[in-house]
Amino acid sequence: MSDENSELEPPDPISNSEVKRFSADGSVGFPHVRVGHRQALYQTPRSSRRLGAFFYGFFMYAEINQALESLRRNGALPLTEWPKGAPVTPRDLDLVERRGEWVRVDQVEELDLAYLRRIAKDLSLEVEIEYFPVVGSTNRMLVERAGSEELSNVLLTCDYQHAGRGRRGRNWISPYARNLAFSFGHRSEKALHELGGLSCVVGLAITDALADLGLSNPNVKWPNDVWMEGNKLAGVLVELINSGAGTLVVIGVGLNVALTDAERMQIDQPVIDLVSCGIKRARNDLLIDVVGKVTSYLEHFENNGFAPFIGAFNAVHALHQKQVSVHRAGIHICENHVCGMFSLFFDLDHANNYEDVSSSNIERFNRFFHKMLDGGIYLAPSAFEAGFISAKHTDDVIETTLSAAEVAFADLATN
């Protein structure tokens, strides 16, 4: 999560039945939650924030969207008519200055709300579609409206996100009207602990929708990325809002459709887009393709849980059963394979049996454990015990853990 959630109350405590305590290496025991999936948990937004959400969604970018509408009607916009102090500049939206006016030189396919609604109706896709050319973050808009509105089956989309969020709270970089960014509100009747695997179902739905369009062998990187040939094609951010009457799930999706080389250079990991994969599909139709598959899979998940999806998910999971090797600050950690449980074996090339792990560097593990403890992170206190990834581990917890690990690795490297 990002700093915008600093006012939220923490999640409910974990019941004793969900906790297993360990004690080894002379350290006290700490709780480790059963296996789940990485999803962000929100409490219902406070009433004092609802008015702020209204202003955020409808006023902060209203003048920008009005200016864009004027440009669409007239073919140009006088320089003086761009809103002063706006968080987005004309150049952010690929507009060019010519003879005292802003104009659009390159042809783009902007989303068409009337067309989207018509196609959704023709396909019996029961969604309420909302569209704004420019927003801050589609996920944030839905999350902040959740306390005062029924947002089930609401699709919110845009042509440009000024503050879209990717993994670990990072900005999602996307050019105007050349990729897809949308959020979908889904009301779940399931309890929070039953929602583990939901982000994997969404990732699977996206890969299957793209495969239907002819994309060959797209993969999912657990839990929230869609990969193609080892490059990121799409990202999924699932946020859970506990409203006291069920759970509202806000599913944010960013899908790379067409990126320039310059835009790729701004991104901190290898990326790919549909056009470079040979998939040419109008953005409006592509949006309906993906949303239709997501809603279908969500309905199946509501009725049957994650179990029916496991085989299909493992078939497209890019890292399924692959060995993990971590190199940081000259420190080497080995993990047997990718799964919901983990152990940390220092200075090993492989960890297949007890003989292997017995030769790991226990002293280095103990130092790492205590350094993480200093940073407020409670790992299993023995090198031979397992940790678990859980739905209780929010993005904020994961970010804090990774930051503490950076400090711990640096300390091991210098001492």
- Say yes or no: 192 and 276 in one domain: yes
Q: DSSP strand E in 31-92: where? A: 31-33, 40-43, 77-78
- Say yes or no: 175 and 302 in one domain: yes
- Say yes or no: 165 and 220 in one domain: yes
Six token digits for residue 407: 């400090």
Q: What is the pLDDT of residue 365?
A: 92
Q: What is the pLDDT of residue 133?
A: 96
Whole-angstrom distance, CA of residue 198 vs CA of residue 154? 18
Residues 6+ apart with CB under 8 A from 131: 111, 113, 116, 156, 157, 158
Per-residue pLDDT, averaged over 206-213, amounts to 97
Yes or no: say if 312 and 220 are a contact pair by the CB < 8 Å rule. Answer: no
Cis peptide before 87, with omega less than 30 degrees from 0? no
Q: What is the pLDDT of residue 343?
A: 84
Per-residue pLDDT, averaged over 336-355, amounts to 81
User: CATH no. for residue 175?
Assistant: 3.30.930.10
Six token digits for residue 123: 């396909």
Q: Which of 316, 338, 372 is the last residue of a domain?
A: 316
Q: Residue 335: pLDDT above 80?
A: no
Q: Which range, 236-250, 286-300, 328-342, is most confident?
A: 286-300
- Say yes or no: 203 and 335 in one domain: no
Per-residue pLDDT, averaged over 183-204, amounts to 90
Query: pLDDT tens-digit profile of 22-45?
Result: 222 332 222 222 222 334 443 333
Domain that holds residue 376: 3-34+321-414
User: CATH no. for residue 27?
Assistant: 3.90.1150.10
- Say yes or no: 135 and 221 in one domain: yes
Higher pLDDT, 260 or 393: 260
- Say yes or no: 54 and 175 in one domain: yes
- Say yes or no: 274 and 338 in one domain: no
- Say yes or no: 196 and 275 in one domain: yes
- Say yes or no: 9 and 144 in one domain: no
Residue 363's pLDDT band (boundaries 50, 70, 90)? Answer: very high
Q: What is the pLDDT of residue 415?
A: 77
Element (H, E) at 152: none
Q: What is the pLDDT of residue 395?
A: 67
* ∠ CA 332-334-22, rounded to 5°: 110
Per-residue pLDDT, averaged over 51-69, amounts to 72
Q: Which of 287, 316, 345 is the last residue of a domain?
A: 316
Q: What is the pLDDT of residue 245?
A: 65
Residue 276's pLDDT band (boundaries 50, 70, 90)? Answer: very high
* 97 CB neighbour count, 10 Å cutoff: 11
Q: Which range, 30-44, 214-228, 269-283, is most confident?
A: 269-283
Higher pLDDT, 116 or 340: 116
- Mean pLDDT score of the chain: 82
Higher pLDDT, 159 or 189: 159
Q: Which of 264, 291, 316 is the last residue of a domain?
A: 316
Per-residue pLDDT, averaged over 328-334, amounts to 82
Of the candidate ranges 8-17, 94-103, 388-397, the one whose mean pLDDT is the lowest: 8-17
Per-residue pLDDT, averaged over 378-398, amounts to 81
Domain count, the chain: 3
- Say yes or no: 199 and 143 in one domain: yes
Q: What is the pLDDT of residue 194?
A: 83
- Say yes or no: 330 and 248 in one domain: no
Q: What is the pLDDT of residue 34?
A: 24
Q: What is the pLDDT of residue 38?
A: 35
Q: What is the pLDDT of residue 202?
A: 96
- Say yes or no: 251 and 300 in one domain: yes
